[in-house]
Structure formats: C-alpha cells, structure tokens
C-alpha cells in the first residue's frame, strides 16, 4: 500500500487546490500516468504516478482547496496488496483547517498544537489574505470540546464547519463525510450539480424554504466544482478547473444597500485571490511614481519588417512587443540600478534581465518570464514568448515560468490605450506600461511632421529606483526603440 502525496510544485508551495482527478478508485495506473491536476495560485499542473498499482482510494476529492504539500491524496495498492479500510474522503483538508481552529482555542490537544496547528499558524502569517476568516460558529466553539476525549479525527468531524474549504459544503450524507453548513437541496439537484460541476453553496434555492431544486441547477452556469467527493463522476461532465467555493451572496454588499439577487457572484479562484492580495499590498505599501515618455517607433516598425523578412524561412514572426522586451532587457543592462529589488537586507541588483510579460487570460492575468532576455536572439525570444503565452492561456505554466522576474512589461496598445501606469509586480523595482503606437504630429526643428508615436510609462519603486535612475532607464529604452540598430551594439 502506497500513499500518493500532494506534490510541491515549487520550493515555496505549501498548499494547493486538487483541481481534477484523472483516475478513480479501482483504476490501474503505471508510472508516468497523469493521475490528477493540481492548481496553485497561478498554474494548473499535472501530477504523474510514480509507482504502478491499483488506485485503492481517492482520499481528497476534486475541488478541494488548501491541500497541504505531502499530505496523502490517494492510496495505491500494489500487486496483491490488500484493500485499505475506506478512508473518509473529504476529511483531509478540512482536518487541517479545523485543527487550526482547535489549536487556537486550546493548547490541550497536543497533536493539533504541535503539528498542523503550528504549520497553519505559520502559513496564516505568511499569507494572511489567502484564507477567509473562520465563521462565527467556529469562533464560538467552546474550548472544552478541544480537550474532550474524542480522537482527533472525531474532533475534526465535530469542528469541521469548513472555512474556506469547498470540500464538504455539499453537505451530502452519502459518503459519511462531515456536513458543513447544511445546504438544503433536493437529491436530484445534488446529483445534477455534481455532474455539472456546480457548487451548491454558490446557488440560491427557489424551492420551499430556499431549497435548491432541479430548476435552480438548470439555470446555473457551471463554474465552481462539485463540492461533494465522488469516486467516479462521469468524465464527460467533469469540470475543467476547480476554483474554490464562494458564498451565494456577498454579505458586504448587502450592508451597502445592494440586495442579494441583483447580481451574479463569481467565486474567487486562486488566481483572483492572489491578484487581489498582491496588488493591494503593492499599491498600498510601495511608494511608487510614474515616468512618461513618448517614443517614435517608425524605425522600429521598419526594423521589424526587415527582421521578419529575414526570419520568414524559419517561420518566426517577431512582434513589436518582442522588440520592446528586448529593448527593455538591454535598457536594464545599460541602467542596472533599475533592475533591482528592495529587501529589508539591502537592494538586490539582478544579474540578468528576466522580463515578465503580462498576459491576459480567462479569469485574470499571468506574467510568464523571458529569462535572460538580454542574451537571447529575437527569433528565440519571440518563439519562447509565443509558447509561454499559449500555455499561460491554458494555465499550463510551470511555477518557475511565472515566478521570479526582475522587471515587468504590460502592453495595452492593442486596445488603443494611449498611456497608463501599471501597479508594481513585487519585488520588481519597475514595470513598464506600453500604450498604442499611433500617428501623431511631432515637431521637428520648427516644423510639424507626422510620426508613429508610442507613449510609455515606467512605474518605479522609489525605495530602489529614484527619479533620476528611472529617467535614465526610460532614456536608454527610448534610445534602443528609436534607433533599433543600437540594440546590436
């Protein structure tokens, strides 16, 4: 008997969402088979089987949030192995969460305090925005229950009024799983929701006493995952991704006079939570300022035409944005003080220009990184960018492909935006916002002329990039863009 553990997709990953199972209990797997998909803040990764054997039990249901790295997610039975007693499916992630609560309420439970509790507490400090606060009923849980003679598992069941977990919100009694806040829904509605990948907790019931009935399912859009663990839902109707559950109505809106029912509530997925948290922190905590400059890009456009002519036989088409990535990287090499990060220990001056490029995807944005952009040929850079952007849209990027850039570039020119200033992508010191290239009147000598002009804005973290440094960077960038040949120097 082998436990399959929640893998770490990056060195810093502590937990993730079990987005999708590709196997069910009873399936035979061999090493290398894709068995599950794990979703972190920004990516969905496939998990491959390391051993071969028969899946004995799925321990963590699809759609479960906050699954700890290294916690068992499934059990594999080797040849001739005996079946393990059926594990309580929904409990793994919730156990962790409720232990967190128990640890906070009382230190009598040694296991809770020592193991999960501490871990969770650490994590909460590190990542305060990622979890919704415990509900009132958790807070009100009397400390005595934590020191009751129940086994930890039983306690988990008692205290498992899951906070941010969607694991048990279906409240289905079938699997003997603990019932979270009870959801009133007809049996058929529950089953249809599961088949369609709907989260019942996100729906409003139109039946008697607000009961969720079939017609509510029929009008609901698939989005949130089925909250109910199930060994083998029909594959055709399985949800693609598994964003976490959301309450059916936003309490904060009601208190502001926006009544429930007057809007659709889209549950927050990992990406949205991350965007909200990180950008709020950045905008609030980092002293930032913008620097604007207009660039003439006729020569850049001309250069692009000639480059593409040369690359045609190789099937590569360099975009204006690719050229801007290259120019940014070279400008960072020319003004290395701008390629910097603020840390409490000191200013980190990065050796390479790892340029993160904002890519809009369904449900958010992500910034895949062109590493060492200063050293890459345009053809190579362009090919790499195309591949990254494509995989970003299907959320198939590996964490190292979007984490750890030193500078960001965001281009809204295709929407006709003339100029804007982005919010810094911490811990990077600068982010460049690129507007649309358009024909504008320019003054040459004392005469008016027409040129293709593009406005750019560099947002700087004043802790590392002062006004003069930023201005020098923009100047250097302008030099490369307006006279592309100098990029070869």
Residues annotated as part of the active site = 462
Give min distance, CB of 234 to other proteins, in A.
8
- Minimum CB separation from other proteins for residue 61, in Å? 18
Q: How many residues bind other proteins (CB under 8 A)?
A: 14
Cβ 378 to other proteins shortest distance, Å:
54
3-state helix, strand, coil in the chain (%, to 5): 35, 20, 40
Site for other proteins in 169-198 (CB under 8 A): 174, 186-189, 191-192, 195
Report the site for other proteins in 413-442 (rule: CB under 8 A): none
Retrieve residue 279's tokens. 């950008």
Q: How far is the CB of 255 from other proteins (least distance, A)?
A: 25
Q: Give me the least distance between CB of 248 and other proteins, in Å please.
A: 18
Of 215 and 280, which has the nearer Cβ to other proteins? 215
CA torsion sign, 394 to 318 to 326 to 470?
Answer: negative
Burial class (CB in 10 A: 0-12, 13-18, 19+), 128: exposed
Residue number with CB closer to other proteins (54 or 213): 213
User: DSSP code of 221?
Assistant: P
Q: How many beta carbons lie within 10 A of that of residue 440, not counting itself?
A: 15
| Torsion-angle region of 107 (φ positive above 0: left; ψ -120 to 50: alpha; else: beta) | alpha
Q: Taking the CA of residue 391 as centre, how many other CA atoms within 13 Å lie in the half-sphere pointing to its CB?
A: 18
Q: What burial letters (b/e) apply to 66-88, b meaning 16+ CB within 10 Å? A: bbbeebbbbbbbeeeeeeeeebb
Binding mask 97-136 for other proteins (x = CB under 8 A): ----------------------------------------
Q: Decide whether 7 or 260 has the Cβ nearer to other proteins.
A: 260
Give Cα separations from 23 to 58, 62, 231, 468, 479 (angstroms): 9, 11, 9, 58, 56
Q: In angstroms, give the least distance from the CB of 215 to other proteins.
A: 7
- Our finding on whether 343 is near other proteins (CB under 8 A) is no
Rounded Cα distance between 251 and 260, Å, is 8
What six digits make up the tokens of 41? 């803040």
Nearest Cα residue to 164 out of 180, 140, 143, 146: 180
CB 291 within 8 A of CB 471: yes
The tokens describing 155, both together, are 């306690």
Closest by Cα among 31, 33, 96, 34 to 59 = 96
> By C-beta, is 25 or 193 nearer to other proteins?
193
CA 218 to chain centre: 29
Q: Whose Cβ is closer to other proteins: residue 211's or residue 472's? A: 211
By beta-carbon proximity to other proteins, the closer residue of 58 and 189 is 189
Return the residue of 72, 207, 260, 427 that touches other proteins, per CB under 8 A: 207
How many angstroms separate the CA atoms of 136 and 165, rounded? Answer: 15
Tell me the CA distances in angstroms from 215 to 186, 219, 397, 453, one per residue in order.
Answer: 11, 6, 38, 55
CB of 206 to other proteins, least distance (A): 6
What does the per-residue mask of binding to other proteins show for 209-248, with x meaning CB under 8 A?
Answer: ----xxx------------------x--------------
Closer of 234 and 416 to other proteins (Cβ): 234
Q: Quick check: 224 and 199 in contact, CB under 8 A? A: yes
Minimum CB distance to other proteins smaller for 218 or for 390: 218
Interface residue with other proteins among 206, 240, 292, 377 (CB under 8 A) is: 206
Contact positions vs other proteins (CB under 8 A) = 174, 186-189, 191-192, 195, 206-207, 213-215, 234
């Amino acid at each position: 008997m082998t436990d399959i553990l929640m893998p770490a997709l990056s060195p810093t990953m502590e937990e993730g969402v079990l987005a999708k199972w590709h196997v069910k209990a009873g399936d035979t797997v061999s090493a290398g088979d894709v068995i599950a998909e794990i979703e972190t803040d920004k990516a969905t990764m496939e998990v491959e089987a390391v051993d071969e054997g028969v899946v004995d039990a799925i321990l963590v249901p699809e759609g479960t949030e906050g699954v700890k790295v290294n916690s068992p997610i499934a059990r594999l039975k080797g040849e001739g192995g005996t079946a393990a007693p059926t594990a309580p499916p929904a409990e793994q992630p919730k156990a962790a969460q409720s232990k967190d609560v128990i640890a906070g309420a009382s230190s009598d439970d040694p296991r809770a305090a020592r193991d999960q509790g501490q871990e969770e507490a650490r994590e909460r400090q590190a990542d305060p925005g990622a979890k919704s606060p415990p509900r009132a009923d958790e807070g009100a849980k009397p400390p005595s229950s934590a020191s009751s003679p129940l086994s930890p598992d039983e306690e988990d069941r008692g205290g498992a009024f899951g906070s941010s977990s969607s694991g048990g919100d279906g409240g289905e009694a079938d699997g003997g799983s603990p019932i979270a806040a009870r959801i009133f829904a007809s049996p058929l509605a529950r089953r249809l929701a599961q088949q369609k990948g709907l989260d019942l907790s996100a729906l409003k019931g139109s039946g008697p006493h607000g009961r969720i009935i079939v017609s509510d399912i029929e009008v609901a859009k698939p989005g949130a995952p089925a909250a109910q663990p199930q060994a083998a839902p029909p594959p055709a109707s399985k949800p693609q991704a598994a964003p976490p559950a959301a309450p059916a109505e936003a309490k904060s809106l009601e208190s502001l006079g926006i009544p429930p029912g007057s809007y659709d509530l889209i549950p927050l997925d990992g990406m949205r939570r991350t965007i909200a948290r990180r950008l709020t922190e950045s905008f609030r905590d980092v002293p930032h300022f913008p620097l604007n400059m207009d660039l003439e890009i006729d020569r850049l456009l001309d250069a692009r035409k000639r480059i593409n002519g040369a690359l045609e036989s190789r099937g590569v088409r360099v975009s204006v944005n690719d050229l801007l990535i290259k120019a940014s990287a070279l400008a960072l090499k020319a003004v290395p003080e701008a390629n910097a990060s603020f840390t409490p220990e000191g200013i980190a001056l990065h050796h390479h220009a790892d340029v993160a490029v904002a890519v809009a995807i369904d449900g958010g944005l992500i910034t895949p990184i062109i590493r060492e952009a200063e050293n890459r040929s345009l053809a190579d850079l362009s090919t790499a960018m195309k591949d990254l952007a494509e995989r970003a849209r299907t959320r198939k990027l590996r964490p190292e492909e979007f984490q750890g850039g030193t500078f960001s570039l965001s281009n809204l020119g295709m929407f006709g935006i003339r100029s804007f200033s982005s919010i810094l992508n911490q811990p990077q010191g600068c982010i460049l916002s690129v507007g649309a290239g358009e024909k504008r009147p320019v003054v040459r000598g004392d005469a008016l002329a027409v040129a293709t002009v593009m406005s750019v804005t560099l947002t700087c973290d004043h802790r590392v990039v002062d006004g003069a440094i930023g201005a020098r960077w923009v100047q250097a960038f302008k030099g490369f863009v307006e006279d592309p040949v100098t990029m070869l120097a």
